[in-house]
């Protein structure tokens, strides 16, 4: 579990990353999957 400051920082980061005002939904999802796969996560 994250501490309160770390949890808030992650929440803010997540909200910015998932913001779809610059990229459409499909592109946002594909970029997220590509980033996860690049660091070794399996979707």
Given a contact cutoff of 8 angstroms between Cβ atoms, the answer to whether 25 and 17 are in contact is no
pTM (predicted TM-score): 0.54
Domain assignment of residue 43, yes or no: no
Domain assignment of residue 10, yes or no: yes
Task: Write down the pLDDT at residue 23.
Answer: 83
- The domain total for the chain is 1
d(CA 34, CA 41): 10
Tokens at 4, concatenated:
């309160």
% of the chain with per-residue pLDDT over 90: 12
First and final C-alpha spacing in the chain: 22
Tens digits of residue pLDDT in 2-18: 799 998 988 888 788 78
Domain extent, residue 10, equals 4-38
Tokens at 3, concatenated:
């501490």
40 Cα distance to chain centroid: 15
């Amino acid at each position: 579990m994250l501490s309160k400051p770390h949890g808030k920082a992650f929440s803010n980061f997540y909200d910015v990353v998932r913001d779809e005002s610059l990229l459409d939904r499909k592109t946002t999802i594909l970029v997220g999957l590509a980033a996860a796969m690049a660091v070794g996560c399996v979707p």
